[in-house]
């Protein structure tokens, strides 16, 4: 059983087709990189998995729970409560970090496990300190996001997502807002998670990361998955003309 199954997902914004019949299966422990030009539907796909957007039609199954299915052409979602439960199985990391500015780094990490999962605050705090060690920011526990660099903020955002013990981590261009030096520290952190076999879908412009760390790479264009392969095959033997043009434009 795949941990994530996306079947024939379509998403319209008005008359505009942002996702066109997208199907994708992800196995536990895979790191799937999604590449493609701006506007190709990469963020929309992640947002549908995390229910930040609803699909127009199609089916999404996360860890054997049906987030949405389509009956007679209409997308059917379960109850709000059930949606919330299913969505705790995915953790999202955004381009612009989206940390809570009024909470310390430690509180940013502990707030959801305590408030949403109703877990023991002392245990959650202990785990959060361990996560801060993993992302190399234990010394920043009591500081506030405004006191951190971009790369540090992003590492706190990663720790915050991990604190919910998600089955799948979703990264939406986690390094696009960062300068080259801090990009590396975030990439190194994500690489650690790849080594720990944490399942992830990562939208990235970092072709080096996609080449070196992903188990599979997906190329999206104009709302559709156009090509999908191992990094080796996708980068060295691209079949689709649009993928070839994209690779030339990013490698230039
Ligand atoms: N909320 C929205 N309303 C209308 N159009 C949207 C909305 N979100 C995204 N789009 C459009 O859908 C397309 C895909 O967007 P997006 O998924 O953000 O692409 P990517 O992440 O690959 O750059 C774009 O043309 C974008 O303008
Ligand atoms: Mg995007």
Asked if residue 252 is part of any domain, the answer here is no
Backbone φ and ψ of 183, nearest 5°: -55, -45
CA 53 to chain centre: 14
Give the residue whose CA is nearest to atom 5 of ligand 1: 13
Mean pLDDT of the chain, nearest integer = 96
Asked if residue 17 is part of any domain, the answer here is no
Is ligand 1 within 6 A of the CB of residue 38?
Answer: yes
Is ligand 1 within 6 A of the CB of residue 204?
Answer: no
Asked if residue 20 is part of any domain, the answer here is no
Full-model pTM:
0.96
CB 167 within 8 A of CB 90: yes
- Pairing status of strand 16-26 against strand 90-93: unpaired
Q: Which domain holds residue 105?
A: 90-165
Tokens of 164: 């919910």
252 vs 149, higher pLDDT = 149
Give the residue whose CA is nearest to atom 6 of ligand 1: 13
pLDDT of 252 above 60:
no
Asked if residue 96 is part of any domain, the answer here is yes
Ligand 1 atom with minimal separation from the 47 CA:
17
Give the residue whose CA is nearest to atom 8 of ligand 1: 44
Note the pLDDT of residue 181: 85
Instruction: Measure the CA–CA gap between 103 and 175, rounded to whole angstroms.
Output: 23
Confidence tier at 226 by pLDDT (50, 70, 90): very high
Give the residue whose CA is nearest to atom 7 of ligand 1: 13
Asked if residue 123 is part of any domain, the answer here is yes
pLDDT in tens, 166-219: 999 999 999 999 998 899 999 999 999 999 999 999 999 999 999 999 999 999
Asked if residue 240 is part of any domain, the answer here is no
Which residue's entry shows tokens 């009956």?
71
Give the DSSP H or E segment for 212. Answer: helix 207-213
pLDDT in tens, 89-135: 999 999 999 999 999 999 999 999 999 999 999 999 999 999 999 99
Asked if residue 126 is part of any domain, the answer here is yes
Give the number of domains in the chain.
1
Which residues, 6 or more positions from 247, have their beta carbon under 8 angstroms from its beta carbon?
Answer: 207, 235, 238
Using the mean position of ligand 2's atoms as its centre, give its distance from the Cα of residue 51 in Å: 15
Is ligand 1 within 6 A of the CB of residue 41?
Answer: yes
Give the residue whose CA is nearest to atom 3 of ligand 1: 13
- Select from 13, 223, 246 the residue to mutate for testing ligand 1; criterion: most ligand atoms less than 8 Å from CB: 13
Which residue's entry shows tokens 């955004």?
94
Using the mean position of ligand 2's atoms as its centre, give its distance from the Cα of residue 157 in Å: 17
Ligand 1 atom with minimal separation from the 41 CA:
17
Q: Find, among 223, 200, 225, the residue nearest to 213 by Cα.
A: 200
């Amino acid at each position: 059983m795949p941990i994530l199954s996306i079947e024939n997902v379509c998403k319209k914004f008005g008359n505009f087709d942002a996702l066109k019949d997208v199907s994708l299966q992800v196995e536990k422990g895979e790191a799937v990189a999604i590449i493609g030009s701006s506007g190709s539907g990469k963020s929309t796909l992640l947002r549908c998995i995390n229910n930040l957007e609803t699909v127009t039609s199609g089916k999404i199954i996360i860890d054997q729970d049906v987030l949405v299915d389509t009956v007679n052409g209409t997308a059917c979602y379960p109850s709000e409560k059930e949606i919330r439960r299913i969505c705790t199985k995915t953790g999202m990391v955004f381009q612009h970090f989206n940390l809570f500015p009024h909470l310390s780094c430690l509180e940013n990490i502990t707030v959801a496990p305590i408030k949403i999962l109703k877990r023991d605050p002392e245990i959650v705090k202990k785990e959060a300190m361990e996560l801060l060690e993993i992302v190399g920011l234990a010394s920043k526990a009591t500081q506030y996001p405004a006191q951190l660099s971009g790369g540090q903020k992003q590492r706190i955002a990663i720790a915050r997502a991990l604190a919910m013990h998600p089955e799948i981590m979703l990264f939406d261009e986690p390094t696009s807002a960062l300068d080259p030096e801090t990009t590396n520290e975030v990439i190194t952190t994500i690489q650690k998670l790849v080594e720990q076999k944490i399942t992830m879908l990562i939208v990235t412009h970092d072709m080096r990361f996609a080449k070196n760390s992903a188990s599979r790479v997906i190329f999206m264009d104009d709302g559709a998955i156009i090509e999908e392969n191992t990094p080796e095959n996708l980068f060295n033997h691209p079949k689709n003309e649009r993928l070839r043009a994209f690779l030339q434009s990013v490698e230039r």
